[in-house]
Chain A
């Protein structure tokens, strides 16, 4: 069955790159530009994995992850943070909010898929 990924990033470049990479790997992709839009999309769609940027306007990734974890429906949906900072502080910030794992930008297509499979085989 085709898995659906929700990508949340304010940068169109990044959204496009994720879109193409994920589509090529056979995923169905939903997109949002910030946490608020992502939550709205989640109201009407089920997703298997969420990939979210941390730094975004309106609602940032941390607030978005917390909001997801606060909802029973998304309590066990894997959420991967997508961020250029591979520093432990940033990873920890995402993890404290409830992120399942992380992806370091920039990613190469293979590694992106590997990481997704790691949390959602």
Chain B
């Protein structure tokens, strides 16, 4: 390569450097899914039920790690989720209970596995398809008493999985499913003032559809301004 040619290449590289910088920094971070009902440990961090969780509170969807772990953190950096004495709220459920995932990136799915106190209890599949934003699993035959349920969402086309621990008391009174997501109409799930949404999630509110731009809780769609937390996607 001649000196002139080398300089020309350098010039081209320098010219495009700022553009590349913008593109690279703008690439979205990993954003995927977590269990909102019964509230998982990361959900309790996100909604503020449990304080001092660190950064997981703003990205409950990001508990991603290689497949095969049996830890609540999956072996990710969010080790706060592995702490048993953190004051996790225990939800009273019945032996047959719906577990709800809220997904922000619809990865093709190998399966969802539910472990009770470390033992595989139930596996769900969907034909390796991309799941919708909300996925419900009716977990049945749960043993009575206090248990830690580890749910693992194994991704089909990557070596990664998503982990969520739910602390439950089966048959401990109350039962049922305290925070079943509202029914989904043609408009998508209705916005809930108490729920946490992360970037990319959609809701309906007052016959309009909205997409969350970033973590939000308690901010009513339509009130956050043109460039605020909720992007207006029009009537639905």
- A and B: real partners? no
A residues near B, CB below 8 A?
Answer: none
B residues near A, CB below 8 A?
Answer: none
